[in-house]
Amino acid sequence: MKTIRRFALALETVATVGTVAVLGLSTSSFGAGVLRHTVVNAHAGGIGGGVGGMTLTISPNASILAKVDLVVHVTYTCDQMYDPSTGMPVTASQTSGTLFVSAQERSGSKVADGNGQTSIQPACDAIPGFFSGTQNQADVVVTASGAPFKKGSGVAQAFGSVCENGGFTSFGPPPCDSGQSNPTVIAIK
């Protein structure tokens, strides 16, 4: 019984010291920032050095450009990112990234194949389970390689990544989100 009492007393002491430390940290702006960063790290993706998610959806319709290339419309959301040095949410003006689209279409006995990419500066504000996020949109020109694209049907897939601008700091690498769509059958018009 003495051992249980000693253990309970030790546990109570640790809990008291921990509570006092948290209260002490919360009274200074630096300590509050550290606590906010710690709580944010525990609950959200896309934190400094971490990778959050992107959800990408390809429009079922693509259009031919100049009788050769395709224009593929992509809608996407990305998880909220938090600045590793401040713990604050990263705004769209502080992000940059790339969307990459590949597409294929059978054209007679040949296969029209192509890739394209575009730069993006999205609002990454999705919070899984709470907010589905801003629907960002982009058109990606897919340049044909080999045979040109023609009216008909094909398959496309999108890949994306976005990071907070700025690169590595003393707090580590910037937060990033990435993801890919499922291969999608597209009508080429």
Residues contacting residue 14 through CB under 8 Å, at least 6 positions apart: none
In the chain the beta strands, taken as DSSP E runs, fall at 51-65, 69-78, 95-107, 110-120, 136-146, 152-164, 176-180, 184-188
Q: Given a cut of 60, is residue 185 above it in pLDDT?
A: yes
**Amino acid 34: pLDDT:** 45
Residue among 158, 110, 165, 166 at smallest CA distance from 138: 158
7-53 tens-digit pLDDT: 444 445 434 444 434 444 444 444 444 444 433 333 333 444 556 89
Residue 34 region, left (φ>0) first, then alpha (ψ -120 to 50), else beta? alpha
DSSP 39-65: HHHHH-SSBTT-EEEEEEEEEEEEEEE
The token pair at 141 is 């020109």
Handedness of CA 139, 183, 79, 81 (dihedral sign): negative
77-94 tens-digit pLDDT: 999 999 888 889 999 999
